[in-house]
Amino acid sequence: MPTRTMKASEFKAKCLRLMDEIGQTGEEIIITKNGKPVSILKPYSTIPKTLFGLHKGKIKSKDDLIAPLDVTWDVEEC
């Protein structure tokens, strides 16, 4: 998704609406003054303290992961 650019004067007039919009879409907006970038408006996100459980509830398995398998393994001893 391309990043939107907006003049500071336009941003000032639409600030509250833009914050709501960005919270929903995740889009970033580069705010400019005199044609030069001065700021970026982007959605707030937190960094998790640990990766453990990061995808809880997002990944589902259709298999029974703990059921025994009816497979015989051939193993060669060294």
Note the pLDDT of residue 78. Answer: 67
Rounded Cα distance, 48 and 6, in Å: 31
SS3 16: helix
Specify burial of residue 29 (Cβ count, 10 A radius: 0-12, 13-18, 19+): buried
Nearest to 31, CA basis, from 6, 2, 14: 6
Nearest to 30, CA basis, from 64, 2, 60, 70: 2
| Structural domains of the chain, ranges and CATH numbers in brackets | 4-41 (3.40.1620.10)
The residues near 36 (Cβ < 8 Å, ≥ 6 apart) are none
Note the pLDDT of residue 1. Answer: 59
Question: Is the pTM higher than 0.75?
Answer: no
pLDDT digits (tens, 9 = 90+) for 24-73: 998 999 999 999 999 999 999 888 788 888 888 888 888 888 888 888 87
